[in-house]
Amino acid sequence: MDVVLESPTQDWSWNFRRKKLVFNGPFGSVFWRLPRDFKREHLHPDLLYVATEVLLSPWVKGILDGWVPTRKHGSLPGLSLSGGIDSTACMELMPKETVLVYHRRSFKSLLKHHGADRLFKYLQRTRGRRVHSIMSNHEKIRTFWEKPTGFSTDLAAATHLILFADYFDLRGIALGMPIDNTYLWHGYRYREFSETSWWRTWAPLLESIGLDLLLPIAGISEASAVHIVQKSGLGKIVSSCLRAKHPGCGRCWKCFHKNGMLGHPYDIDAREIQAFLGKRPVRTATHALWWVGEQNHWDQVPDLHHLKERDFSWWVKHHPQAFDLLPNWIRPSIQAAIEDATEPIPEDSEFYTWNLFPDAE
């Protein structure tokens, strides 16, 4: 085994094998399957340092102590494409040369890949666009610290792009994070996203290794993301449900608030949908309640009738300040596409003081 990078205290290491990149640490060992023509030279140490931070920082401190980045930026934007609505909307807003990369769980789970595969086959057949698939089990890392299988941090959803940034010649990495997760705190209260520790931590760190953090849909909602996907003709191809084949199970939260917008049937009485509607604050509150209003489901949330009077119209408009998060090399095309699809949120909109559950904190 060929050790590429090891921590000075030897608590983690990166190893290059013929077909795999292996990451060892206190949690054990996880891997990424390498593309066929991948070479050891593609593994710049900066990429491995930042990937380590993204994967272990909740539990291991001081990973980046004494490290000085040297990587220069590549030339292309990359997108972490999950096959769901938000990242598909990003793809539609981003330039055609964007490298599309999918993280594929290497182990069996409740989460199904066929929705994503259906989209990827369609993109290949109709547009000649290739989606690179990187198989990994890195979502197992956090189980060592007794957390459920999943991403260690939000940025871990882009680990495959960070690790392979030199192989794909990347200059930036895009994530499908809508306004629900950026300018709204927990989906129901306005905040200035550019001042959050999230943005102030990750954006400069990625920039320091020649990778701009790109959030193409930071200023639009999940609802606008659905509209963009529909407008591009992918509404009948995409499904956000991870539990069943297209058009989805009809019984999960995603089927309620995302697939429902695409015209796919859902059962309002399904257990998960009822459970999330019954939570206070409501799960993904602004979007869910906007959709409750659109579908006139107010009878499902009798204690929230006072919210009927709130002006939700900004939900399908865009927040112009989000364009400032984009670097100049990619901003104009994304901004033009969003301005083409949606109106700006007016300056006197309720959005700037939005708080659906003031008693919740």
Least spacing, CB of residue 271 vs Zn ion, in Å: 12
> Residues 203, 208, 209, 215: what is their CA dihedral angle, to the nearest 10 degrees?
20
Cα distance between residue 353 and residue 226, in whole Å: 25
**Nearest residue to Zn ion, scored by beta-carbon proximity:** 241
In this complex, which beta carbon is closest to Zn ion, that of residue 56 or of residue 241? 241
| Shortest Cβ 122–Zn ion spacing (Å) | 20
DSSP of 55-94:
HHTTT---TTTT----PPP-SEEEEE--SSHHHHHHHHHS
CB of 252 to Zn ion, least distance (A): 3
Positions in 223-262 near Zn ion (CB under 5 A):
241, 243, 248-249, 252, 255
Question: How near is the Cβ of 294 to Zn ion at its closest, in Å?
Answer: 19
Matching residue, tokens 């060892």: 24
Nearer to Zn ion, 51 or 249 (CB): 249
Closer residue to Zn ion in complex, CB, 33/112: 112
b/e sequence 57-85, b meaning 16+ C-beta within 10 Å: beebeebeeeeebebebbeebbbbbbbbb
| Minimal distance, residue 85 CB to Zn ion, in Å | 13
The residue type at 174: A
Of 223 and 338, which CB lies nearer to Zn ion in the complex structure?
223
Please identify, using beta-carbon distances, which residue of 55 and 241 lies nearer to Zn ion: 241
Residue with tokens 């000075």: 8
Residue 36 DSSP label: T
Give the nearest distance from C-beta 249 to Zn ion in angstroms: 4
Number of residues that bind Zn ion (CB under 5 A): 6
Q: Is 84 in the site for Zn ion (CB under 5 A)?
A: no
By beta-carbon proximity to Zn ion, the closer residue of 133 and 259 is: 259
Phi, psi of 203 (to 5 degrees): -60, -50
Contacts to Zn ion by CB under 5 A: 241, 243, 248-249, 252, 255
